[in-house]
Amino acid sequence: MIDKPNLEVEIAGIKLKNPVMTASGTFGYGEEFSPFIDLDKLGAMVLKGITLNPKMGNPPPRVIETPSGMLNAIGLQNVGVEALIKEKLSQLQKYHTPVIINISGDTIDEYIKIAKRLDEVSESKKIAGLEINISCPNVKKGGMLWGTNARSTYKVVNQIRKITKLPLIVKLSPNVTDIKEIAHSAEEAGADAISLINTLAGMAIDINSARPKLANIHGGLSGPAVKPVALWMVWQVYQTVKIPIIGIGGIMKAEDAIEFIIAGARAVQVGTANLVNPEAPIEVIEGIKEYLAEKQIDDINKLTGSLII
Amino acid sequence: MIDKPNLEVEIAGIKLKNPVMTASGTFGYGEEFSPFIDLDKLGAMVLKGITLNPKMGNPPPRVIETPSGMLNAIGLQNVGVEALIKEKLSQLQKYHTPVIINISGDTIDEYIKIAKRLDEVSESKKIAGLEINISCPNVKKGGMLWGTNARSTYKVVNQIRKITKLPLIVKLSPNVTDIKEIAHSAEEAGADAISLINTLAGMAIDINSARPKLANIHGGLSGPAVKPVALWMVWQVYQTVKIPIIGIGGIMKAEDAIEFIIAGARAVQVGTANLVNPEAPIEVIEGIKEYLAEKQIDDINKLTGSLII
Amino acid sequence: MANKRKKVRLVLKTKVKIFFKEKIVSDPDIYLMGLSASLIANEAKPGQFIHIKCSKDNYPLLRRPLSIHRIDKEKGEIYILFQVVGEGTKLLAQKEVGDNLDVLGPIGNGFNIYPESKKIMIVGGGIGVAPLLALCEGSIRQEKEVRVLIGALKKELVIEEENFRNLGAKVDVATDDGSYQYKGLVTDLLERVIKEGWLADQIFACGPKPMLKKINEIALKANIDYQVSLEERMGCGIGACLGCVCKIKTKGKKEEKVKYEYKRVCVDGPIFEGSEVVWDD
Amino acid sequence: MANKRKKVRLVLKTKVKIFFKEKIVSDPDIYLMGLSASLIANEAKPGQFIHIKCSKDNYPLLRRPLSIHRIDKEKGEIYILFQVVGEGTKLLAQKEVGDNLDVLGPIGNGFNIYPESKKIMIVGGGIGVAPLLALCEGSIRQEKEVRVLIGALKKELVIEEENFRNLGAKVDVATDDGSYQYKGLVTDLLERVIKEGWLADQIFACGPKPMLKKINEIALKANIDYQVSLEERMGCGIGACLGCVCKIKTKGKKEEKVKYEYKRVCVDGPIFEGSEVVWDD
Ligand SMILES: Cc1cc2nc3c(=O)[nH]c(=O)nc-3n(C[C@H](O)[C@H](O)[C@H](O)COP(=O)(O)OP(=O)(O)OC[C@H]3O[C@@H](n4cnc5c(N)ncnc54)[C@H](O)[C@@H]3O)c2cc1C
Ligand SMILES: Cc1cc2nc3c(=O)[nH]c(=O)nc-3n(C[C@H](O)[C@H](O)[C@H](O)COP(=O)(O)OP(=O)(O)OC[C@H]3O[C@@H](n4cnc5c(N)ncnc54)[C@H](O)[C@@H]3O)c2cc1C
Ligand SMILES: Cc1cc2nc3c(=O)[nH]c(=O)nc-3n(C[C@H](O)[C@H](O)[C@H](O)COP(=O)(O)O)c2cc1C
Ligand SMILES: Cc1cc2nc3c(=O)[nH]c(=O)nc-3n(C[C@H](O)[C@H](O)[C@H](O)COP(=O)(O)O)c2cc1C
Ligand code: FES
Ligand code: FES
């Protein structure tokens, strides 16, 4: 009788007490959730995407609801890497959960500058790793460009790889013809892990005003609606790369997370669910425990890629 | 006071009494819906995708439900072009609604043979036009290949263009990095209109059996869940091509159809909604009428691309 | 073709009112529901089903197929008997007497009782009894001698036993744990009954696939005509989407490589000859 | 920062029971709902809101923000007053007394009544009166002299007038069609009251953006401190997603190009100084 199955997983050299992380942009800078959950219970925290300089972001409305999903066009509003280090990371020092910084840049140079800076303070500020966002669909010049082309993906990842020893997680965009190709070049370029998916590009229109519902016209689709697309991409990438995969997309309950793990994910990220239920990540962790106990699986790692076809 | 707004539109030279068609594969061969609606009220009927020879299709389960959507992996089961002509089209002769044949092929040669054959009987069987499915994600060798590459899209469309005078509608796959590029090459190749989107590739897993819920492992996602993605692609393509666009994706009510038309669609196709409510296309037509009257718009064509940004 | 078109033409889309609702078994929860549906009752025959929109919105999106459990043409009523297994049946179970349901129906070919048949054997496993009560009633109205075998896990899960009996059928029950009547599988019970010499002219069955498959072997051996009610995930329920197929042998097409084709459970079935079904999966 | 962290720490996720429900206006439908929520009532201050999960499933997915209309700390109760405009509020309106609601709250900074203020002017347009009753009660408890101006399209849509009066405030109403009291916009009424010489120390307002903007001009001219309750589409409601922002002037940062920044309505607001809001959109 297995009643305490092992939940520990290792991603890109980062040891996680369980495979459940929070997805960038849906968990703020962490502290926002401390009134609701014990942050020390999380597998890891991925913070709001950061850029070199502070970013204003897009005009409102920035979020609107769609069937079983939502569109967001935040436009990467963030405090910039320096304020992140000074204020936000300092707040998190008291916690024991690995902190992963999600970084975005308009140019390779910007990516490098951020990575360098975070690398410098990684010891003092306990930064566990970097998640490279080459896929944020809201920033015209940035993300999209890199993540939708295998060569540019290779280029940016490889450059960052050269200047930091920090574990690198490359976060892929689903808005591509062949996710396997992109994942492969990220691995080639030296990524330690791959996370997917970021949001699907989408749009909604208010037929009374004949205007887009988002001020930014289009935004990123997330939530349960995208789960089937995300699962299929995770399974495809699992066939392609050797490095661990972090599954993301519409995970609201433990059952969803388990689908991703069976499809090949070593860990998962909970995103939109945080906006609906701040306790979601904890509930997912508990649910996974119950599933393993019920199925008498002694180690979560055995579930990864266990899809029977 | 406008109480009888004009609903007539012209697509690829086909005159439609209203802009509401039925989407291929969700409306059978038409007759299946005659117990529920007056087929003569439809703008056009697009029949189940046809191949040169009869196709068995995929093993079951072929359809499963996802949040606000469904996955299908029918595998293009169909009676083949000859039986279509002999049996199915004969049944439809008594109706006055334009019939559009959706064709799929594993090779250019197959596309051409079907197109030729349909071209021959187009007069006698009252075939209004062809919709070229270069995007069905369920048939490994077929659809996917053509529709996800600009050059191959050009090639297949151009070859078909050469051997038939029938209006050609090219139906695009959303599983691409840059839908504008594909749409552009379809136009270059001689397409008279573009329809989008076909289904998004997706997957679902039964966590109790650790097996895919679809026997085919993956399938095509459709329904309300995909509407934001479809709308964004229609709007992008509208910026790119001059030929008319047929908007498809999650249209359940008139409001959804109107969103597509405002985004640039000249007509729309109702798909998954037919499976839920066989009267859906008629309700959409009625709803569009009411909207135009309420907004005092005298011609549906004025709504196309009227998005205010 | 003509035959099929006829079937299609009889299908209706209507709103029907729930006039009766009772939870007859708990965990798994099984409900009996009565619907005022004169149009459907009028057209319906045993073995057909109705396709129900369980939610008002997209959640769940698709309709859910449920067999017609009883048909009362005089009163213009039909009954459904369903087990709560997921979101759709859960929502349906939450509906109350007086609520309206959006349904398509009656759908499907229905059971085919041959005039010349004298003895009818009906076998139901678990919730599989749902379509069989109407069949039993129909058979008895045609003055057949009817025996019913019900299979269940345990005593508490034996459903409708009395109702079959009240119709005039001889009813026997098999429970896996032996908590009621015959201990073992209902298929074992069937074999025993046949061995005892009660040979039916037709066997009708509905239930879990392994049961249906086993009965096919038994029927083949005893060389008794056998009809089964099959289930598959459905989309449209009206023959249009090809989502609900099952493997059916293609008779007499020797030239073809494949020895089976995919037929639609919704309109080509849900009733098939046991002998034409490809059981290997 | 400290201030913000404090705010965040006070937010709770709880299930609260509906003990009262009344439809007070029809088409548009407006409901008054009472919630047994001692924890929230205990923490709540006027101008804050609660973030409600209106559905059990994904449809709708996100929570919906509603202002706290009344706070009864003794009884441990709060009230919400809401207008049905879409799916979420429709579902909420279908909930019955005895049902539980999954809510986050109290959220936001709340109105800031200065101790030195003697005269308080409260202006509500349409459903905008929702957060103002609690504010009125709070002001009167602090022995302020309170006047309330309510704006509505027509007589039938004037809400809560008596309740404000019963609290001891002087209440005047403006209706666009003149079907009740002053004919015209509530902002015209406000200008008139000021012209008549009743000068408040603070103006508080909630309602349609054009109204709030106009009042800002009036307050500026009369040089009266002015606080508004803003609305924006929300995601998390707890400051994490940056979905709910509004344009707020960046004071004293002359060097920067942009003269405004995006602040979160949910936790930096929903109450802002009228003078710091960028009204141009
Ligand atoms: C022709 C026909 C007649 C049926 N008659 C009855 C009946 O009289 N009483 C009854 O209780 N059930 C009947 N079923 C099964 C019933 O349709 C399903 O249990 C129901 O659709 C499940 O819906 P759900 O949303 O509650 O569960 P879901 O969440 O959709 O699925 C829950 C579980 O039910 C299974 N399931 C879902 N849909 C089907 C389906 N169409 N066929 C088989 N299994 C399915 C799934 O595999 C899953 O494991 C019938 C099915 C068919 C095809
Ligand atoms: C801080 C705050 C306090 C509020 N207090 C109240 C209140 O006390 N009473 C009340 O009736 N309403 C209040 N609202 C507005 C209320 O939140 C929306 O009406 C509600 O979320 C609409 O949800 P729905 O699903 O019914 O409509 P939806 O289908 O989501 O939208 C219908 C219409 O409502 C508008 N809308 C939706 N969400 C918001 C929002 N967050 N803010 C503004 N407009 C929106 C949309 O633009 C759309 O036109 C408040 C909003 C905020 C931000
Ligand atoms: C409001 C919001 C903000 C987001 N911001 C970021 C971001 O800054 N960087 C990033 O890589 N992904 C961002 N994402 C994408 C999520 O991290 C996640 O990849 C996506 O939402 C899919 O997961 P979900 O369906 O669970 O939300 C954001 C998503 C949302 C909803
Ligand atoms: C069951 C099913 C079968 C389909 N078969 C075809 C097909 O044969 N050919 C084709 O081009 N598209 C096919 N499609 C795609 C639809 O025509 C449509 O493009 C897609 O479903 C998106 O629209 P919707 O969300 O309104 O369903 C099929 C879709 C479904 C759900
Ligand atoms: S369910 Fe659509 S064909 Fe049977
Ligand atoms: S709603 Fe998420 S930050 Fe305000």
Q: Minimal Cα–Cα distance from C48 to chain A, Å?
A: 33
> Do A67 and A225 contact (CB within 8 A), yes or no?
yes
Chains C, D: CB contacts under 8 A, how many?
Answer: 5
Residue C86 near chain A (CB below 8 Å): no
Chain C positions touching B252 (Cβ under 8 A) are 58
- Res B236: pLDDT: 97
Burial grade of B38 (CB within 10 A; 0-12, 13-18, 19 or more): exposed
User: What backbone phi and psi angles, to 5 degrees, belong to D123?
Assistant: -125, 120
Active site residues of A: 136
Chain B positions touching A290 (Cβ under 8 A) are none
D97 within ligand 6 shell (Cβ under 6 A):
no
CA separation (Å) from D47 to A68, D70, D80, D113, D124?
A: 31, 10, 12, 11, 13
Active site residues of B: 136
- Res D2: pLDDT: 33
Chains A, C: CB contacts under 8 A, how many?
Answer: 3
Q: Minimal Cα–Cα distance from B182 to chain D, Å?
A: 33
Measured over all CA atoms, what is the biggest interatomic distance in chain B, rounded to whole angstroms?
61
Residue B237 near chain A (CB below 8 Å): no
C234 within ligand 5 shell (Cβ under 6 A):
yes
* DSSP line for D57-126: SSTT-S-EEEE--EEETTTTEEEEEEE--SHHHHHHHH--TT-EEEEEEEES------TT--EEEEEEEG
- Res D281: pLDDT: 61
- D57/C58 CB distance under 8 A: no
Chain A positions touching C59 (Cβ under 8 A) are 68
Those residues whose C-beta lies under 8 Å from the C-beta of residue B276, and which sit 6 or more positions away, are B252, C53, C61, C62, C63
Residue A205 near chain B (CB below 8 Å): yes
Q: Minimal Cα–Cα distance from A90 to chain D, Å?
A: 13
Mean pLDDT of the D213-236 span: 96
Going residue by residue through chain C (281 aa), what tens digit of pLDDT does each one get?
333 334 444 788 999 999 999 999 998 999 999 999 999 999 999 999 999 999 988 889 999 999 999 999 999 999 999 999 999 999 999 999 999 999 999 999 999 999 999 999 999 999 999 999 999 999 999 999 999 999 999 999 999 999 999 999 999 999 999 999 999 999 999 999 999 999 999 999 999 999 999 999 999 999 999 999 999 999 999 999 999 999 999 876 555 555 899 999 999 999 999 999 999 76
- A67/D247 CB distance under 8 A: no
| Buried/exposed code over A226-250 (b: 16+ C-beta within 10 A; e: otherwise) | bbbbbbbbbbbbbebbebbbbbbbb
| CA dist., res. B213 & res. D267, Å (int) | 43
Q: Which of the residue ranges A246-260, C257-271, D155-169 has the most confident prediction, judged by mean pLDDT?
A: A246-260
Locate the ligand 4 atom nearest the alpha carbon of residue B273 and give its number: 26
- D58/A252 CB distance under 8 A: yes
| CA dist., res. B201 & res. D89, Å (int) | 34
| CA dist., res. A144 & res. A135, Å (int) | 5
| β-strands C119-125, C145-152 pairing | parallel
pLDDT tens digits along A212-226:
999 999 999 999 999
Q: Give the chains touching A; criterion: ≥3 Cβ pairs < 8 Å.
A: B, C, D
C85 within ligand 5 shell (Cβ under 6 A):
no
Residue B309 near chain A (CB below 8 Å): yes
User: What backbone phi and psi angles, to 5 degrees, belong to A306?
Assistant: -80, 15
Long-range Cβ contacts of C251-254 (<8 Å, 24+ apart):
C251/C276
Name residue B51's amino acid: T
Q: Which ligand is nearest to the CA of D237?
A: 6
Q: Give nearest CA residue, ligand 2 atom 26.
A: D86
Mean pLDDT of the A249-259 span: 98
Q: How far is the CA of A278 from the centre of ligand 3 (A)?
A: 15
- Locate all alpha helices (DSSP H) within chain C, ordered by sequence: 2-10, 38-43, 87-94, 132-141, 161-166, 186-195, 209-222
Name residue C266's amino acid: C
> Of the residues C25, C54, C89, which should be mutated to test ligand 1's pocket, given the most ligand atoms within 8 Å of the CB?
C89
Helix (H) or strand (E) holding B80: helix B80-83
pLDDT tens digits along D104-129:
999 999 999 999 999 999 999 999 99
Residue B67 near chain D (CB below 8 Å): yes
| CA dist., res. D161 & res. D167, Å (int) | 10
- B212/A307 CB distance under 8 A: yes
pLDDT tens digits along D136-149:
999 999 999 999 99
Task: Quote the tokens at residue D264.
Answer: 């979160």
Of A233, A238, A240, A308, nearest to A248 by C-alpha is A233
Residue of B205, B217, B259, B297 to mutate when probing chain A, most A C-beta within 10 A: B205
Residue C26 near chain A (CB below 8 Å): no
Helix (H) or strand (E) holding A115: helix A108-121
Residue A228 near chain C (CB below 8 Å): no
| CA dist., res. A225 & res. A249, Å (int) | 9
- C241/B224 CB distance under 8 A: no
pTM of the model: 0.95
C266 within ligand 5 shell (Cβ under 6 A):
yes
Chain D positions touching B67 (Cβ under 8 A) are 58
Task: Quote the tokens at residue A194.
Answer: 């791959």
Mean residue pLDDT across chain D: 92
Q: What is the mean pLDDT of each run of 10 residues along chain B (309 residues)?
A: 89 96 97 95 97 95 97 95 94 94 92 95 94 68 67 93 96 94 96 97 97 97 98 98 98 98 98 98 98 96 97
Locate the ligand 6 atom nearest the alpha carbon of residue D239 and give its number: 3
Residue A62 near chain D (CB below 8 Å): yes
- Res A107: pLDDT: 86
- Res C202: pLDDT: 96
Task: Tell whether the model's pLDDT for residue D255 goes beyond 60.
Answer: no
Q: Which of A34, A63, A272 sits opposite D233 (nearest CB)?
A: A63
Q: Give nearest CA residue, ligand 4 atom 14.
A: B25
Residue A93 near chain C (CB below 8 Å): no
> Of the residues D48, D238, D262, D272, which should be mutated to test ligand 6's pocket, given the most ligand atoms within 8 Å of the CB?
D238
| CA dist., res. D54 & res. A49, Å (int) | 30
Those residues whose C-beta lies under 8 Å from the C-beta of residue D152, and which sit 6 or more positions away, are D125, D126, D158, D159, D173, D174, D175, D176, D180
A161 within ligand 3 shell (Cβ under 6 A):
no
- Res B38: pLDDT: 96
C89 within ligand 1 shell (Cβ under 6 A):
yes
